[in-house]
Amino acid sequence: MSETLTKSRLYTEKAGARLGAVVHGIDARQPLDEEQKEFLRKELVRNKVIFLKKQFLDDAQHEALSRVFGEPILHPTIAAPEGTKYTFELKSRHGRSTDSWHTDVTFVPDYPKASILRAIHIPPYGGGTIWANTATAYDDLPQPLKNFADTAWGIHSNDYDTNYYKFDGKKGEIAAFRAEFLSKLFVTEHPVVRVHPESGERTLVLGHFIIGLDGFPTREARALVEILQGYITQVENTVTWRWEEGDVAIWDNRATQHYAPADFDQQRRELRRITVKGDVPVSIDGRHSSFVSRP
C-alpha cells in the first residue's frame, strides 16, 4: 500500500516487508522545498532505507541532497577524491566489495546518522546491496537474550578482522588501501542496544567493526555476537536493491546494517557515498558511547 501526499504527488512504494521503500515525486537534481525535505526525513526513519531511482546526480547535487539529513562529514581516515569535500569512493578492485555486514563507521562514538549512496557504474550482473533492520532484529530476540543485550557493551575498532585475505592476487593494492584505512586507529565502546533518538526504537549496534564485548573473553564474546548478529541477517529481515545507474539509496545508519555481495566477477562497479554527522548513542540506562582510545 502506497502512502501519498496528494498536494505534491510525493509517495512511497514498499520495497520489502521489514524495511525499504522507493520514493516517488523527487528530482534531487533540483533544489528541494521544505515539504519534500520533511517527507524524505520522515520516510527515512519509517522505512530505514529509501531509494530514489534514476537521479544521475553530480558531486554537488549529491552533497546538496545529503544536507537534507544533516551535516556532511568526511570519513575519519580515508581522503575524499580530488574535487570533492566529503565523498567516500567505492570502486570495485578486481571483484572486491564490502561483502561483510556492517553499520558505517561504528569505530567512533558519533558514527554517521545516515549515508547517501549513488550508483555511477553498475556491472551487467550482480553488484547489488542488501540492508537489514536492526530494530526488528532486536524485537525478535527471546526475552533472555534481550535481557543480556540490554546491558551489554561492545568494543568497536577500525582494526578489525576483514575479508581482505580473499584477494591474495592483489596484496600490494589491498595493503595500500588498508594502510590508509588504519592510518588513524580508533577504539570505541557502544551499548549493544541503543535507543533511536527519533523513533524511540531499540536497535542493535553490532556489525564487522565489533571486536569484543566488555567483560567477556574473546571466545565467548565472538559466540555471543554471532548469536545476536544472526537475528539481524536472517533473510526475512533484509531487503535487496538491484542497482541501476543513477539510483540513490539513503539509509538510517542508526537502525540498519548493509552488505555488498562480491558477485560480479571482475566487472567494474563504482558508487559514491556521503555520510552525515550522527549523535552519540545512548543506552537503555542512559549511558553514552565513548572512545576507549583514539589518535
Rounded distance, CA 261 to CA 243, Å?
Answer: 12
Rounded distance, CA 101 to CA 99, Å?
Answer: 7
Please choose, from the candidates 214, 263, 251, 243, the residue with its C-alpha nearest in 3D space to the C-alpha of residue 102.
Answer: 251
Say how many C-beta atoms besides its own lie within 10 A of residue 94's C-beta: 12
**Is 288 annotated as catalytic?**
no
Which own/partner pairs from 34-42 qualify as long-range (CB within 8 Å, at least 24 positions apart)?
35/5, 35/7, 35/8, 35/10, 36/8, 36/10, 37/68, 39/5, 39/8, 39/10, 40/68, 40/69, 40/250, 41/68, 41/69
What number of CA atoms fall less than 13 Å from residue 103's CA on the CB side?
33
Rounded distance, CA 11 to CA 226, Å?
Answer: 38
Query: Of 96, 104, 156, 254, which one is the catalytic site residue?
Result: 104
Q: At a CB cut-off of 8 Å and minimum separation 6, what does 178 contact?
A: 162, 164
Query: Of 254, 258, 269, 272, which one is the catalytic site residue?
Result: 258
**Is 62 annotated as catalytic?**
no
Grid cell locating 16: 520489502
Furthest C-alpha separation in the chain = 57
- Tell me which amino acid residue 84 is: T
Grid cell locating 6: 496528494
**Is 273 annotated as catalytic?**
yes
Task: Decide if 215 contacts 155 (C-beta within 8 A).
Answer: no
Task: Decide if 183 contacts 77 (C-beta within 8 A).
Answer: yes
Query: Of 102, 194, 269, 272, which one is the catalytic site residue?
Result: 102
Rounded distance, CA 131 to CA 168, Å?
Answer: 28
Query: Of 75, 202, 269, 273, which one is the catalytic site residue?
Result: 273
Catalytic residues: 102, 104, 258, 273
